[in-house]
Amino acid sequence: MADALPTRSALVSRVLPFSCVDGPGNRLVLFLQGCNFRCPGCHNPHTIGLCDACGDCLAVCPSGALTFNEGKVHWQAALCTDCDACLDACPRSANPKTATMTVAEVLALLCRYGPLLTGITVSGGEATTQLPFVVALFTAIKAAPDLAHLTCLLDSNGSLAETGWQRLLPLLDGAMIDLKGWRDSVHHALTGYGRERVLASLQLLARHGKLTELRLLHVPGKSDFLDANGELDADLAAFLQQLGPVPIRLNGFRHHGVRGEATSWQEADREALTRLATELIARGLGPVSLPAIC
């Protein structure tokens, strides 16, 4: 079985060789294609869907980087100018500029950049929609003497079931999980998905000391982390307190990359995020961090 791990493959939307914002240190980030959430305010909507080879993107590509062959859309990176017209034209929020990568190919990248890296973060889309690949990749990294020093982190929406987490826990150094709404109705409005599994994931990861960061997204006029009096929702405070001392990162909604109805949403300002941070700190939660720019 171990011999087969390097042949496992995943549909990859993008590889970022170096990042200092996707976990601690300097990290290689693998953005996998496909997400089970449908967040109206997604900043990377082209990572949500899977290409159905409709061909709409071919007509808008100015450089001829996209072709249609054997029932599939093919991307030629050498011809691409990264104008992203294809992403704007896609009716499925997909990305025709994806690549299928094996575990062995990712390991080769890590060997190339390894001396400069702290670890790898697998993100998305939603990374856990391609769970067998993630398990195989982390297994291979932990088994490689020249890569075992790298930490393996997951950036996730928290929708994975407990059985999935149990497969990952022995290999996972930590996970960064988004909580985009507190009440179930608000979470559903902001993600298209209920909150139950997300809360269960947070609890499970916290119990095992694997919750690297909890991220709260503030959307003015839609978020419900603060109550009508501007104080931290009491039930949310109780939930966060039982997780223990977990780093909390606040993110404010911005228009960058969003489409559709969310383009008319109000952006979060520094004052609103500071107010939320103050409430969290007053309850003894955190440490709490804010984005550098908002």
- Quote the tokens at residue 127: 């990374």
Domains identified in the chain and CATH numbers: 2-46+99-289 (3.20.20.70), 52-89 (3.30.70.20)
Closest CA to 193 of 48, 36, 46, 47: 36
Q: What is the pLDDT along the chain (294 residues), one digit of tens a residue?
A: 444 667 799 999 999 999 999 999 999 999 999 999 999 999 999 999 999 999 999 999 999 999 999 889 999 999 999 999 999 999 889 999 999 999 999 999 999 998 999 999 999 999 999 999 999 999 999 999 999 899 999 999 999 999 999 999 999 999 999 999 999 999 999 999 999 999 999 999 999 999 999 999 999 999 999 999 999 999 999 999 999 999 999 999 999 999 999 999 999 999 999 999 999 999 999 999 998 754
198 burial class (0-12, 13-18, 19+ CB within 10 angstroms)? Answer: buried
Q: CB–CB of 175/153 below 8 Å?
A: yes
pTM of the full predicted structure? 0.94
Residues 6+ apart with CB under 8 A from 288: 247, 248, 249, 250, 277, 280, 281
Residue whose pair of structure tokens reads 């159905």 in the numeric block: 52
- pLDDT for res 293: 57
Please report the pLDDT score of residue 6 as a whole number.
73
Angle between helix 103-113 and 131-143 (nearest 10)? 50
What 3-state class would DSSP assign to 30?
strand
Peptide bond into 24 cis (omega under 30): no
CA-CA distance, 223 to 97, in Å (whole number)? 33
Q: Could you count the other beta carbons within 10 Å of the beta carbon of residue 208?
A: 15
Q: What's the start-to-end Cα distance of the chain, in Å?
A: 47
